[in-house]
Amino acid sequence: MTRMSVTTPGDDPVLSVNDLKVWYGTPRGAVRAVDGVSFELRKGETLGLVGESGCGKSTLGRGVLGLLPTAAKTAGSVQFQGQELLGASLRELRRLRGPSLGLIFQEPMTRLNPLLRISAHFEETLHTHEPSLTKQQRRRRALDALGSVGIPPTRYDHYPHEFSGGMRQRIMIALVLVLNPAMVVADEPTTALDVLVEAQILRILADIKSNFDTSILLITHNLGIVAEACDRVAVMYAGKIVEQGDAAEVFQDPQHPYTAELLRSTISLSTVELHSIPGAPPDLADPPPGCRFHPRCPSAMRVCATRVPVTVGSSFGHDVACWLHGPAELIPAGGTQPLEREEIARADEA
Amino acid sequence: MPTKPDLLDVRDLKVHFALRGGALDRLTGRNSGAVKAVDGVSFSLAPGEVLGVVGESGSGKTTLGRAIVGMAPVTGGTMSFEGREIGSLTGAARRAERRRLQMVFQDPHASLNPSMDLLTAIGHPLRIHGVTKDEDELRVRVSEALERVGLSPVERFLNKFPADLSGGQKQRAVIARAIILGPALLVADEPVSMLDMSVRAKILQLMMDLRDDLGLAYIYITHDLASAKFFCDRIAIMYLGRIVEIGPPEQIYADPRHPYTRALLAAIPDPGVRREVPRDLPRGEVPDAASPPAGCSFHPRCPHAFAVCGWESRDLHQLLEDRWSASEDLFEAERPVLGDLTALETPSYRAPVPAGKGHDGDEVAALLERVRADDPDEPLWRGVERIDVRADAASVGFRTGVDPVLTPSGEVQVACHLFDEYAPLAVEGDGR
């Protein structure tokens, strides 16, 4: 094993999410964007949250930081270093955001103020959160952070438009790092970037983790990025985590049929045959009963269409929510018979 | 060798966009240069062949595709399609070519008019080109196209609006619209990059089926080498407006020649392969096409670049900045020794480095030697011929760079001095 988590399982988690639910009200009824999700993030660990668009992964990332729109309804618990974040006052959340909780957004192009020099961005951040620093100390801290992502000090007084997309994303990262947060949520940090720049950013994230022991929640749709950058992975489908565990283990031996199908349909250099998952992800306002993946699942059984699967540990730290893995005593008689179903109508194909 | 005549033959195609500059420049008539989005691209395409055009943003791949369908102005070179010269055509004559030459865009959401139902949208090309006689025939043709792209039962889709469709279904509708006139060539610009992983394979499969059934040729523009490997008969790697390597995928993937191709391949994240994030990535990013690097455009990022690759003043400036961003202390110590470095941003094989206040040329030269001693393997130093010292400055003289051209190497063609035995010698002979 080349990449073990630097911490032991006995450590207290930095972030502990328990049965989190996030619902949005729409004219068609409640959309259950996140529906009963539990996971933990330990010190110095990178957890990859993967899923297709609409599976609720970005909503989950925002829910963790208390950045949801006020109309969203939440339930469950999100504990950060022992403190409950759900229902915390705005003032309390503001105190945590920045020094404790960092967020790296998807589009670096739109997140820096075009009218302010890079130096002003850092001045404002440091002045707000660490008012005791002198001007000289602030400059020093900012240049250190920029240096760690490879932005030269000579460009400290430049404006955002003078930088390329990859450099802007690196500046965004430096702006998060300068406060040395315990946890960073990175929401698709490389999606708008080219492969080479993407690899540079992933390298920087790996360096942050090893140098500062920062915990990172990396939200992405790209399984390759997870394999390369994450210690553990949680796979989301239709608002639920269907499988989570050590990234290498999950990718080598996926337990949930969705994980396996998603891996098979990813086109990589080693792909020899095109594969796709039949059908399309469900409407979260009206999800299918039982397991939400059962209409598309190649191994669906009778029980899958009627009962919501229970999360079981298939091995240490590797959890899966699928009836194939039991528990057998909860499956009704005859429930393991293959599910008979109609062909998926061509019209419902994505 | 292909016996069939070429479907498309592109020779030395150029698309340059003039920069307008400021109001004063326009008054005085000063030329403010051009962005060379596509700068001398040549290739040919046989009927039913799939050519992958791969590169990063800013490589000119999208502009190349748009120039082929006539959506970007061709400023040089020739382009013949089914034996007709189309590069110089404009207006109605150019538009008539679109019956045989169609385009599929990256974003299916933006490619469909939200207020047109599929019957209207997909039937639109038939109306524009006056192909159908009446509404019934139009309906029949649209139904055929929908059936062909897998949007069936057709009755369920004819009157749907784009908002009713998923991303994959929208891209199918866009493809139906593109094939309804019976084209011979589709230019597909990142047709699957906006789609989810589980849907990408379906759309690629559809495109492969259409090639087999209709004999369609494609120009598949993408940044994704993995999907190109699967789909293409030939791959062209583009960098800053030029093709740097072109050949059959088996060769390109198994034995990439150009350092840029090698880097692109190494950077693809792969869920099937366990490995660390690669450490030896090219530094920096794609440079500004309005003022490309001298010599080989890739040389500032290339780990293998040597003397003739085009080292110049801007590279020296970058080297100093990179050194200083790594260490704040070095920056504080070294920056005052040097004066104003903005002159280095003007491309030149002679880089004057002025001394700062209270320092002299000897100190500047000593500093440069120290930089060289700290990292003697830095490829830039391979291009340095001499460092002249004056009272108030040191001047770094670089070897004149040579622009590499596409040269056969095995089954591929590659534009790189590492594979061109003549270019370096030619310069040796010329002196400087």
pLDDT surpassing 90 at residue A207: no
Q: Does A263 touch chain B (CB under 8 A)?
A: yes
The answer to whether residues A164 and B285 touch, using CB atoms and an 8 Å cutoff, is yes
Mutation to test the B interface, candidates A106, A195, A348, most B Cβ within 10 Å: A195
Lowest mean pLDDT among A67-71, B256-260, B349-353: A67-71
Q: What single string gives the DSSP state of each residue in A135-175?
A: HHHHHHHHHHHHHHTT--GGGTT--GGGS-HHHHHHHHHHH
| pLDDT tops 60 at residue A62 | yes
Between CA B383 and CA B401 the distance in angstroms is 9
Arithmetic mean of pLDDT, A194-199: 83
- pLDDT band (50, 70, 90) for residue A269: confident
Q: Which residues of A touch B286 (CB under 8 A)?
A: 164, 194
The pLDDT tens digits of the residues spanning B368-391 come to: 999 999 998 899 999 999 899 988
Strand duo B242-247 + B234-239: pairing = antiparallel
CB atoms within 10 A of CB B161: 15
* The dihedral sign for the CA sequence B52, B58, B59, B60: positive
> Which chain B residue has the Cα nearest residue A346?
B152
* Minimum CA–CA partner of A226 in chain B: B271
CA distances from A56 to A36, A49, A105, B394, B411 (A): 11, 10, 16, 59, 47
Q: Nearest CB to B321: which of A152, A203, A275?
A: A152
Taking only the tens place, the pLDDT of each residue in A21-58 is 999 888 888 888 999 999 999 999 999 999 988 888 88
Span A234-242, mean pLDDT? Answer: 94
- Report whether A321 contacts A243 (CB < 8 A): yes
Residue in B198, B225, B278 closest to A52 by CB: B198
CA dihedral B306→B307→B310→B311, nearest 10 degrees, is: 90
Compute the distance between CA of residue A344 and CA of residue A295 in angstroms, rounded to an integer: 8
Chains A and B: how many Cβ contacts under 8 Å? 179
Q: A223 at the B interface (CB within 8 A)?
A: yes
- Residue B389 pairs in a beta bridge with B394
Residue A349 clears pLDDT 70, i.e. is over it = no
What radius of gyration, in Å, describes the C-alpha atoms of chain B? 26
* Bridge-based pairing state of the strands A318-321 and B50-54: unpaired
Nearest CB to A268 within list B202, B204, B271:
B271
B226 neighbourhood in chain A, CB within 8 Å = 267-269, 271
d(CA A306, CA A46): 35
Do A224 and B270 make contact, defined as CB atoms within 8 angstroms?
Answer: yes
Interface touch A196/B156, C-beta < 8 Å: no
DSSP 8-state symbol, A335 = T
> What percentage of chain B exceeds 70 in pLDDT?
91
In chain A, the percentage of residues whose pLDDT exceeds 70 is: 94
Read off the pLDDT of each residue in A213-237 and give the average, rounded to a whole number.
91
Q: What was the ipTM of the complex prediction? A: 0.81
pLDDT tens-digit profile of B267-303?
Answer: 887 776 555 656 667 887 788 888 889 999 999 999 8
* Of A335-344, B29-38, B232-241, B324-333, minimum mean pLDDT range: A335-344
Q: Which residue has the higher pLDDT, B197 or B115?
A: B115
CA distances from A338 to A212, A277, A300, B52 (A): 50, 18, 6, 43
Asked whether residue B26 carries a pLDDT value surpassing 90, the answer given is: no
C-beta atoms of B198 and A226 within 8 A: no
Confidence of residue B33 (pLDDT cuts 50, 70, 90): confident
Interface mutation target, options A161, A258, A274, chain B, most CBs of B under 10 Å: A274
CB interface of A with B, residues 10-29, below 8 Å:
none
